[in-house]
């Protein structure tokens, strides 16, 4: 590890049976020896609390600590994430092990921080009476009166009216059949439950550790089991596990996910786990190409990661993940990828001081809302509707033009952005609409995608038409939406092309609302009708795109958005297949260039810059296949 310039390890995240071999008997000596040994080689440790894997003695003696699935079956021991997030007894055991670890290692100079649990049990709930009661209590605290709940959920529909809190059911096996209001609240309840589970451990750790030790949690990109903004709030910083699975890295998709994670706290983050070549859980566990792991590591740094960690170092001799990629084999000697990791390590060491105190800064923001994500996913209306794919479409076209994008929660401050794009903002209650309108009035450019402004915070339809509280500012509205069986033509200021999967028939009511695209001959209803509206509002502009656009039109639309909003690229033109990232600090600017292709690429720099990896200076460079360069810009 030392030879590969590895400076940090994350350990113990599944080791409960070794840390507490029997109830209330702890053995931390082995862990301390490991921490000491690492420290002797210049390596600091992050400790994972082992609560994603309760030991057999615990679950055997206290079966109520095991979670129950939707069909009523209690989990059996032998896998992981089998604990019940709502079991008071399980919470108590979690608190005790985390507290004991904190007592022992909270002042250890070689322990730099903590990771709570591991991937938070994939947000799995226990479908038992404890959870049912908690859910009912949660609803009571939220709505205060059943009248309120009945009204907001429109429970009189299908005779669901509740006269007693105890009548409200748990979202179970038949979740598709449930009330949309209940489903949205259930997702929020799941979020609050996992946030509380996390807080239970944070509180006890904080009691015993030095403030310099950080606390993080490892998220999973676009996983939507809980609201990541809520979960991130008490963490020092967010982290995520970046796995490609089958195939190869998609620079846009992966870059977008880094930006998403950076947006959880609007701060730099860690890639606390990533793929050492191959995983063991995908359809085809192919190995990343030589050089690709290095390109990915630099992409993480470029998008604001301050650490990249490989899961895992060495194969365990048995256990479920024998086939997973590692840096050394079961014999403890390096596998071929080790050399690439060593290169990454030495490069990180070279540029560390230049990157210190820097972070990506953007003029463009994408809005990501879990409420909207859930609301659309519960009622997609067409199975083809994929919000992440739509987000990626926008990103794939806008990222090369701006060369930096933030992904943030809709309620985040917006004034720093020239352009705000919300491809999926289905839930726009009045206060959110006011926040967006204020941004536009002050000169912001807001672009909304299809299905925007349809729902309130209870997942009920707004009594006005889309985009709801924004319709007046837009000077137009949605007359009707259509799930498409086949693509339809559109044409207008953005050229000619097709729309796919979803199309909305728009209508402009204000005389100054411009139509940028119209549908061609399609289903009769849409023929000749507006597909895109835009209108100046205050000092800014609001644009509504009522359909999913094909690649060609999307590319023109992206150019239009960039020009209208005056966004400038952070670097300048780079060849296809090359990504540029920028990190900015007080009086420093660092660019990272990554060539994802398997061919050489020539890049002309906007001015003379210092090439930190090559140790040269110049105004042009050649990037070999999967090549990387880090540039210091002193202008
Ligand atoms: C997840 C887990 C790890 C490991 C890897 C394998 O990210 O956190 O424990 O199972 O996947 O890819």
119 and 197: one domain? Answer: yes
Q: How far apart are CA 635 and CA 624, in angstroms?
A: 26
Question: pLDDT tens-digit profile of 455-484?
Answer: 999 999 999 999 999 999 999 999 999 999
Q: Tell me what pLDDT residue 182 has.
A: 97
Does residue 632 have an active-site annotation?
A: no
Residue 553 belongs to a domain = yes
Residue 198 belongs to a domain = yes
* Predicted confidence (pLDDT) at residue 134 exceeds the cutoff of 80: yes
Q: How far apart are CA 507 and CA 513, in angstroms?
A: 9
Which of the listed residues 276, 310, 321, 325 should we mutate to test ligand 1's pocket, taking the one with most ligand atoms within 8 A of CB? 321
* Predicted confidence (pLDDT) at residue 635 exceeds the cutoff of 80: no
Average pLDDT over residues 17-32: 98
Instruction: Quickly state the pLDDT bin for 415 (edges 50, 70, 90).
Output: very high
Does residue 273 have an active-site annotation?
A: yes
- Nearest atom in ligand 1 to 243's CA: 12
216 and 72: one domain? Answer: yes
| Ligand 1 in reach of 294 Cβ (< 6 A) | no
Q: How far apart are CA 525 and CA 520, in angstroms?
A: 10
Average pLDDT over residues 537-565: 98
Residue 626 is part of a domain; what is its CATH number? 2.60.40.1180
- Give percent of the chain with pLDDT exceeding 90: 98
Which residues, 6 or more positions from 51, have their beta carbon under 8 angstroms from its beta carbon? 16, 83, 94, 97, 98, 116, 117, 201
553 and 613: one domain? Answer: no
What's the structural domain count of the chain?
Answer: 3
Residue 47 is part of a domain; what is its CATH number? 3.20.20.80
Q: Is 96 exposed, middle or buried, given 0-12, 13-18 or 19+ CB atoms closer than 10 A?
A: middle
Residue 230 belongs to a domain = yes
Q: How far apart are CA 120 and CA 247, in angstroms?
A: 26
612 and 552: one domain? Answer: no
Give this prediction's pTM: 0.98
**Which pair of tokens denotes residue 31?**
């862990």
Write down the catalytic residue from 273, 292, 504, 514.
273
Residue 156 belongs to a domain = no
Residue 137 belongs to a domain = no
Question: pLDDT tens-digit profile of 44-56?
Answer: 999 999 999 999 9
39 and 121: one domain? Answer: yes
Write down the catalytic residue from 119, 347, 457, 629.
119
Q: Name the DSSP class of 225.
A: S
DSSP E strand stretches across 449-539: 476-483, 488-492, 495-508, 514-519, 530-537
306 and 219: one domain? Answer: yes
The residue written with tokens 């996992």 in the block is: 194
379 and 423: one domain? Answer: yes
Residue 445 is part of a domain; what is its CATH number? 3.40.50.880
- At which of 522, 543, 565 does a domain end? 565
348 and 252: one domain? Answer: yes
Distance 311 CA to ligand 1 centre (A): 7
Q: Which helix (H) or strand (E) holds 349?
A: helix 337-355
| Ligand 1 in reach of 52 Cβ (< 6 A) | no
Which residues, 6 or more positions from 63, have their beta carbon under 8 angstroms from its beta carbon? 74
Question: pLDDT tens-digit profile of 302-338?
Answer: 999 999 999 999 999 999 999 999 999 999 999 999 9
591 and 557: one domain? Answer: no
483 and 445: one domain? Answer: yes
Question: Which range marks the domain in which residue 381 is found?
Answer: 364-565
211 and 312: one domain? Answer: yes
Question: pLDDT tens-digit profile of 246-264?
Answer: 999 999 999 999 999 999 9
Residue 483 belongs to a domain = yes
Nearest protein Cα to ligand 1, atom 1: 241
Residue 179 belongs to a domain = no
Q: How far apart are CA 469 and CA 481, in angstroms?
A: 18
* Predicted confidence (pLDDT) at residue 177 exceeds the cutoff of 90: no
Whether residue 43 contacts residue 2, with contact meaning beta carbons closer than 8 Å, is answered with: yes
Residue 49 belongs to a domain = yes
540 and 601: one domain? Answer: no
Mean pLDDT of the chain: 97
Q: 513 or 634: which carries more pLDDT confidence?
A: 513
| Ligand 1 in reach of 20 Cβ (< 6 A) | no
């Amino acid at each position: 590890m030392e030879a590969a310039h590895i400076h940090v390890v994350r350990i113990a995240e599944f080791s409960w049976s070794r840390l507490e071999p029997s109830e209330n008997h702890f053995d931390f000596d082995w862990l301390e020896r490991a921490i000491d040994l690492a420290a002797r080689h210049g390596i600091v440790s992050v400790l994972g609390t082992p609560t994603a894997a309760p030991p057999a003695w615990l679950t055997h003696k206290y079966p109520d600590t095991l979670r129950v699935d939707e069909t009523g079956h209690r989990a059996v021991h032998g896998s992981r994430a089998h604990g019940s997030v709502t079991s008071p007894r399980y919470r108590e055991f979690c608190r005790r092990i985390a507290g004991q670890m904190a007592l022992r290692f909270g002042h250890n100079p070689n322990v730099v921080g903590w990771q709570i649990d591991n991937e938070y049990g994939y947000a799995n709930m226990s479908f038992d009476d404890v959870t049912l009661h908690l859910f009912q209590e949660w609803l009571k605290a939220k709505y205060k009166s059943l009248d309120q709940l009945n009204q907001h959920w429109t429970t009189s529909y299908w005779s669901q009216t509740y006269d007693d809190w105890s009548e409200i059911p748990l979202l179970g096996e038949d979740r598709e059949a449930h009330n949309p209001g209940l489903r949205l609240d259930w997702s929020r309840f799941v979020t609050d439950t996992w946030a509380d589970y996390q807080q239970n451990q944070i509180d006890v750790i904080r009691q015993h550790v030095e403030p310099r030790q950080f606390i993080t949690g490892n998220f999973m990109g676009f996983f939507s089991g809980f609201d990541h903004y809520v979960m991130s709030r008490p963490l020092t910083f967010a982290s995520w596990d970046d796995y490609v699975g089958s195939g190869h890295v998609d620079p846009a998709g992966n870059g977008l996910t880094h930006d998403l994670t950076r947006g959880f706290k609007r701060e730099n983050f860690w890639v606390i786990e990533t793929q050492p070549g191959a995983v063991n859980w995908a359809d085809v566990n192919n190995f990343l190409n030589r050089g690709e792991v290095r390109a990915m590591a630099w992409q993480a740094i470029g998008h604001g990661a301050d650490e990249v960690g490989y899961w895992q170092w060495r194969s365990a001799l048995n256990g479920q993940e024998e086939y997973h990629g590692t840096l050394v084999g079961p014999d403890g000697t390096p596998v071929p990828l080790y050399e690439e990791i060593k290169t990454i390590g030495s490069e990180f060491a070279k540029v560390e001081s230049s990157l210190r105190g820097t972070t990506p800064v953007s003029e463009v923001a994408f809005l990501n809302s879990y409420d909207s994500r859930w609301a659309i996913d519960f009622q997609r209306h067409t199975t083809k509707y994929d919000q992440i794919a739509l987000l990626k479409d926008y990103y794939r076209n806008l990222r090369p033009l701006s060369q930096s994008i933030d992904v943030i929660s809709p309620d985040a401050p917006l004034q720093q952005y020239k352009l705000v794009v919300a491809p999926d903002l289905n839930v726009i209650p009045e206060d959110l609409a006011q926040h967006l309108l204020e941004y536009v009035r002050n000169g912001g450019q807001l672009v909304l995608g299809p299905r925007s402004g349809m729902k309130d915070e209870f997942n009920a339809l707004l009594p006005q038409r889309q985009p709801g509280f924004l319709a007046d500012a837009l000077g137009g509205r949605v007359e009707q939406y259509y799930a498409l069986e086949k693509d339809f033509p559109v044409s207008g200021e953005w050229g000619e092309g097709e729309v796919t999967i979803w199309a909305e028939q728009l209508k402009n009511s204000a005389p100054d609302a411009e139509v940028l695209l119209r549908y061609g001959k399609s289903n009769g209803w849409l023929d000749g009708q507006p597909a895109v509206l835009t209108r100046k509002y205050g000092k800014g502009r609001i644009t509504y795109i009522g359909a999913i656009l094909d690649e060609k039109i999307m590319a023109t639309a992206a150019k239009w958005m960039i020009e209208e909003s005056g966004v400038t690229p952070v670097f300048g033109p780079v060849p296809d297949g090359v990504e540029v990232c920028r990190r900015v600090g007080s009086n420093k600017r660092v660019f990272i260039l990554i060539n994802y292709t398997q061919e050489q690429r020539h890049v002309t720099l906007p001015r003379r810059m210092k090439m930190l990896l090559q140790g040269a200076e110049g105004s042009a460079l050649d990037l070999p296949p999967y090549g990387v360069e880090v540039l210091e810009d002193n202008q």
